Amino acid sequence: MKTTPLAAFGYVAVLVEVDAGETREMLLDKEGRARSGQYFYIKGAGESTVKGTGETLATRTAGWLKSEHPDGNANSVEGIVFNTFPENSAWLCISHEYNKKGLPHLRSLVLQDGESVILPNNTNLLLARGTLVTAKKTFESIAQIRIRNGDVTAVSSGTSYSLYFDK
């Protein structure tokens, strides 16, 4: 496992990269959620099983953001989840450990090749994987994109994975 800390609009995000076949354990809180914080898969897949009960959680695949899947929690509480990775995988983790003042409100944005989106003025978008092209600039991951001078149209070159950091 390789971890790389990143700046993200006043927060700390960590890029986590694992090779196929790696495993890791994660603690659950009393609601059956990962205690670490928010995570957003940008490559590969993660398969999770609760130790002791054998409960299998939904497979996390590229584009999966924890806060957008409240049904992704374990039914078990305060246990340990055993994660396996059938292929090379990567995700961003915005953890409580590194963000003591709280976590941001996040929304995912996944665009296919040639798909476009209008980014409104005052948008904070973290391009986690891929390429986004605007009229004035090409952004390649990992990039903080701040829109401050009016709305901007961005087009994805290949599949791109981004997070809106809402205020």
Mean pLDDT of 72-90: 84
The answer to whether position 11 is within a domain reads yes
What pLDDT, on the 0 to 100 scale, is given for residue 70? 75
Split into its structural domains, the chain has a count of 2
* Bridge partners (DSSP) listed for residue 165: 106
The answer to whether position 124 is within a domain reads yes
CATH number for position 48: 2.60.120.10
Q: Which of 95, 125, 141 is the last residue of a domain?
A: 95
Q: Is the pLDDT of residue 93 over 70?
A: yes
User: Residues 89, 135: one domain?
Assistant: no
Summary mean pLDDT of the chain: 92
Task: Give the Cα separation of 81 and 51 in Å (integer).
Answer: 6
Task: Give the Cα separation of 113 and 93 in Å (integer).
Answer: 25
What pLDDT, on the 0 to 100 scale, is given for residue 99? 95
What pLDDT, on the 0 to 100 scale, is given for residue 58? 85
Q: Is the pLDDT of residue 75 over 90?
A: no
User: Residues 124, 161: one domain?
Assistant: yes
User: Is-contact 52 45, C-beta < 8 A?
Assistant: no
What is the domain range of residue 46?
2-95
51 DSSP assignment: T
Cα dihedral: 96, 128, 8, 5 (round 10): 60
User: Residues 12, 31: one domain?
Assistant: yes
User: Residues 90, 113: one domain?
Assistant: no
Question: Taking Cα atoms as reference points, which of 6, 26, 144 lies closest to residue 80?
Answer: 26
Q: Which of 95, 113, 140 is the last residue of a domain?
A: 95
Q: Which of 95, 114, 145 is the last residue of a domain?
A: 95
Task: Give the Cα separation of 51 and 7 in Å (integer).
Answer: 33
The answer to whether position 100 is within a domain reads no
In tens, the pLDDT along 51-64 reads: 888 888 889 999 99
User: Residues 15, 78: one domain?
Assistant: yes
Q: What are the tokens at 33? A: 């959620």
Burial class (CB in 10 A: 0-12, 13-18, 19+), 135: exposed
Instruction: Give the lowest-confidence range in 44-58, 72-86, 101-115, 121-135.
Output: 72-86
User: Residues 50, 31: one domain?
Assistant: yes
User: Is-contact 70 33, C-beta < 8 A?
Assistant: no
Q: Is the pLDDT of residue 71 over 90?
A: no
For residue 94, say if its preceding peptide bond is cis, omega within 30 degrees of 0. no
